[in-house]
Structure 1
Amino acid sequence: MLNGPAEGYYKKWLENAERRGVPPEVIVEIARRHHITPDSFKVLDGMEEVTDPDGKSYFLMPKGTSGADARRAALMTYVLNCGTDYDKAGRQPGVTNDFKETPYSADEVQRIIDRQNANSWSYDQDVGFVDGNGGRLMTTPNGMLMGLGGNQLQDMYSEGGGSTWGDIFMVNIDDPTDAADQLRKIVKSGVAWYPGPDGNGYPGANQLDLDRLLHHEERHSQQWARMGYLGFIDAYVTGKVIEIFTDHPMEKDAGLHDGGYR
């Protein structure tokens, strides 16, 4: 893996693994199969690290970050954190997770890579779209992006608590005073935020754990990858009709409790 002392985010990766009880053989397998070296983490240099209440790292991407760098940074944020705390969030009193947590592993890294490949358009096109229309983006421990803000054109792409497009979850906070600071506040709070009447966001009364919400949104990313662009849109619109009578099938597949629908 490494000859000599570990430094920077590579060192933090190894520290996170020890802190979270990840077996050494899992780290070795991830490094071997996915060619993880200290240089792999350099994509995170120059990005602002923001930590949540559990100590997980998110990275606020500078304006002008390329789609390719956003894609690499999203993957390396998953690798760095050694887990998402989804299971921990589900152990809180009165909370019911919709799924079991997928263990941190080389297979899970590969699944995220495959999902990114299938949703490559969201990096190649939409990262620049969000940036060019005044929004801000950050990486998440789930290996996807989270963003908010922007102009009226950007506002069209989020509704309710937020909307996921490919690998980008756009929180439905369209007119914050400072989009970057709004993202920082969401991460530091550890809960889902929703739009307020003044255009800024506020923590939801439901106190939905951000780890659970991101798990829900990442499952939507999986749907995009599985169905393709037009297939997802067709299925989601059809689900809106079904929703008149029962649960939206795609929201149910992503987890109704985790998404704040229950």
Structure 2
Amino acid sequence: MPGHHHERALREAGLLTGPRRTGYPATWLANAARRAVTPETILEIARSSGIDGDELHLLGDYEEVNDPRGKSFFLLPPGISGDDARRAVLLTYILNAGTDYGAAGRGVVHDFAATPYSVAEVRRIMDRQRANGWSYGRDVRFVDRNGGRLATTPNGILMGAGGSWVQRLYSQRGGTTWGDIFMVNTTAGVEPARVLRDIIASRRIWRAEPDGEVVVGGLDLDRLLHHEERHSAQWAALGYSGMLRAYGWELVRELIFRKTNRLEQDAGLHDGGYL
């Protein structure tokens, strides 16, 4: 049975008791086994994060949307609190036990080597979430209040779509990341939950055409989310005002002096669709 060795390791460590796990805890262990994550790694993650598997049942409160590779995304309901959204994001990363970055077909250029699923990544995501706490404490509510929707991703960030004209001002080009939230650029009148479901199901980012139609694009979602998560890390490292200043200057260099945007380069020019 997939995940049997991982469950046994958790039980022997005293982190699991009672009946055999079902639901999302069982899915977590099966994902880990399928991706060749060692039982030792699962033990380290459970101890470090304080998650023994049972907490993954909390994801059952949200709508699960699967991509063609079987990864789980979760569409968050209107009115969700920032704290609950933050927890759901971390649980989604843990549940999937991998992002599939680097799994694209032959000839695809990746900007980085894939980062292994590990306790170090869990800690890094938790640290980033703390540094970008404003995007949970303030912006989750902002997106909700303006009619947008949010989904958790296997990369440990939120992906959003839709909303009022005010909300859409914060999403430029193919989309814009603010802290831990990547907002896809859409047009007025789209149903944001449907757009998010379509993006996940197609594993392609959708874009808004000049005539207002939203169509499937060519960017691989796994690679783009890796790119956007690196932007989230930039927000965490530079801080809110620091990131705004830095990106503003990079836009001046890019648009006026025709220089490479160094923040986009750091996030991956191929992965972000710039090359």
Give the shorter-chain TM-score range. Answer: over 0.9
User: How far has the Cα of 1:177 moved from its partner?
Assistant: 2.8
SS in 2 for 1:50: strand
Counterpart code for 2:219: L
Structure 1 contact 13–79 (Cα < 8 Å) conserved: yes
Bigger radius of gyration: 2
Task: Give 2:11's aligned residue.
Answer: none
Counterpart code for 1:253: D
Report the number of matched residues.
Answer: 258
Relative to the length of structure 1, the TM-score reads 0.96
What percent identity do the matched residue pairs reach? 57
Counterpart code for 1:158: S
Q: Are 2:62 and 1:51 aligned?
A: no
User: How far has the Cα of 1:158 moved from its partner?
Assistant: 0.4
Note the residue ranges of structure 2 that are not aligned, 5 or more in a row: 1-14
Relative to the length of structure 2, the TM-score reads 0.91
User: How far has the Cα of 1:123 moved from its partner?
Assistant: 0.2
Distance in 2 separating the partners of 1:135 and 1:197: 21
Structure 2 contact 64–75 (Cα < 8 Å) conserved: yes
Distance in 2 separating the partners of 1:132 and 1:197: 26
Question: RMSD of the alignment, in Å?
Answer: 1.1
Task: Give 2:248's aligned residue.
Answer: 237
User: How far has the Cα of 1:196 moved from its partner?
Assistant: 2.4
1:2 to 1, 16, 19: 16
SS in 2 for 1:214: helix
135-144 or 176-185, which moves further after superposition?
A: 176-185
Task: Give 2:272's aligned residue.
Answer: 259
Structure 1 contact 194–202 (Cα < 8 Å) conserved: yes
User: How far has the Cα of 1:37 moved from its partner?
Assistant: 2.1
1:125 to 120, 138, 142: 138
User: How far has the Cα of 1:38 moved from its partner?
Assistant: 3.4
42-51 or 212-221, which moves further after superposition?
A: 42-51
SS in 1 for 2:78: coil
1:158 to 171, 190, 202: 171
Q: Are 2:36 and 1:21 aligned?
A: yes
User: How far has the Cα of 1:198 moved from its partner?
Assistant: 4.8
Note the residue ranges of structure 1 that are not aligned, 5 or more in a row: none
Distance in 2 separating the partners of 1:175 and 1:42: 35
Structure 1 contact 148–174 (Cα < 8 Å) conserved: no
Q: Are 2:128 and 1:115 aligned?
A: yes
Structure 1 contact 43–69 (Cα < 8 Å) conserved: no
